[in-house]
């Protein structure tokens, strides 16, 4: 069974409710439990956990043991973004650790080679990606599918159409390091998905802050990941509220680009 249910779209809105997910990659790791409690107390809906293996991306962060330790100190929704080669190897470990969602990269699940995803077709689901989705669900977690900036958004469509994923993550920076600049043109992928799937959770991650969130919100995103913009702020609670207000305003404006 899943630990926490996902929010549903309500009447008069063009997307599910706003979800603000501070990335703990930007927190003080020496005080991780306290930092996470602080974010939740300030209004965060989820905690975004960036898992990097030093292979799929050129950085090494944290793994299932840290999630297991963190779970002992929080009931918050743990949104685990696996930037790893062979993500299927880690499903059981993260489920046991207490993750609520695993978001894995389409490019990684399609094969071990960095260019294997080029063989994917927008009208034909890849068996390995399908198996990964089923595996995450069978382990009791929600399923997210992540796209790097260069990956065409159309490749995610068949998995959403078949009900295999709960969320699509649109990366607006190259995965690997926090603090990068927002790639505004990549947010347009969210508009493609939102037009097709009004009930889908669409997450945008990379360079998001009060100055850039409106572009993601206007494109149809409802799940906002922000790291340094939140943890580095003098008043993180104000930033969380600003991000939420941007998404909420866009959700009722009827201005999602077509």
Nearest-angstrom CA–CA distance, 65 and 62: 8
> What is the pLDDT, as a whole number, of residue 121?
75
Nearest-angstrom CA–CA distance, 100 and 144: 11
> What is the pLDDT, as a whole number, of residue 123?
80
- CATH number for the domain spanning 36: value is 3.20.20.70
Q: Which residues are paired to 39 by β-bridges?
A: none
Is 235 known to sit in a ligand binding site?
no
Is 179 known to sit in a ligand binding site?
yes
What's 17's DSSP letter? P
Please give the chain's pLDDT, 258 residues, in tens.
Answer: 456 889 999 999 999 999 999 999 999 999 999 999 999 999 999 999 999 998 888 888 999 999 999 999 999 999 999 999 999 999 999 999 999 999 999 999 876 555 666 677 778 899 999 999 999 999 999 999 999 999 999 999 999 999 999 999 999 988 766 666 788 788 999 999 999 999 999 999 988 999 999 999 999 999 999 999 999 999 999 999 999 999 999 998 765 444
Is 205 known to sit in a ligand binding site?
yes
Residues with active-site annotation? 50, 205
Residue 8 lies in a domain: no
Nearest-angstrom CA–CA distance, 91 and 107: 17
Is 181 known to sit in a ligand binding site?
no
> What is the pLDDT, as a whole number, of residue 258?
42
Residue 111 lies in a domain: yes
Q: Which domain holds residue 149?
A: 19-251
Question: Edge-to-edge strands of the sheet including 201-205?
Answer: 19-22, 223-226, 201-205, 167-171, 142-147, 101-105, 77-83, 46-52
> What is the pLDDT, as a whole number, of residue 1?
47
pTM value? 0.93
Number of compact structural domains in the chain? 1
């Amino acid at each position: 069974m899943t630990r926490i249910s996902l929010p549903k779209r309500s009447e008069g809105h063009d997307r599910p409710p706003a979800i603000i997910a501070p990335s703990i990659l930007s927190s003080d790791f020496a005080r991780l439990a306290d930092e996470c409690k602080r974010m939740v107390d300030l209004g965060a809906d989820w905690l975004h956990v960036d898992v990097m293996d030093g292979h799929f991306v050129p950085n090494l962060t944290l793994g299932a043991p840290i999630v297991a330790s963190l779970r002992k100190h929080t009931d918050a929704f743990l949104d685990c973004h696996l930037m790893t080669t062979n993500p299927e190897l880690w499903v059981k470990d993260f489920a046991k650790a207490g993750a609520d969602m695993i978001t894995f990269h389409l490019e990684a699940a399609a094969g071990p080679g960095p260019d294997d995803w080029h063989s994917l077709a927008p009208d034909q689901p890849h068996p390995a990606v399908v198996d990964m989705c089923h595996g995450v669900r069978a382990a009791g977690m929600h399923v997210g599918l992540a796209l790097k900036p260069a990956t065409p958004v159309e490749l995610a469509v068949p998995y959403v159409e078949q009900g295999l994923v709960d969320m699509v993550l649109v990366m607006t920076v190259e995965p690997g390091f926090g603090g990068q600049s927002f790639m505004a043109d990549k947010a347009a992928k969210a508009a493609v998905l939102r037009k097709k799937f009004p009930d889908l959770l669409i997450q945008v991650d990379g360079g998001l802050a009060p100055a850039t969130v409106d572009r993601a919100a206007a494109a149809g995103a409802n799940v906002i990941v922000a790291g340094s913009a939140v943890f580095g702020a003098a008043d993180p609670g104000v930033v969380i509220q600003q991000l939420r207000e941007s998404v909420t305003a866009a959700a009722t404006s009827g201005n999602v680009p077509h």
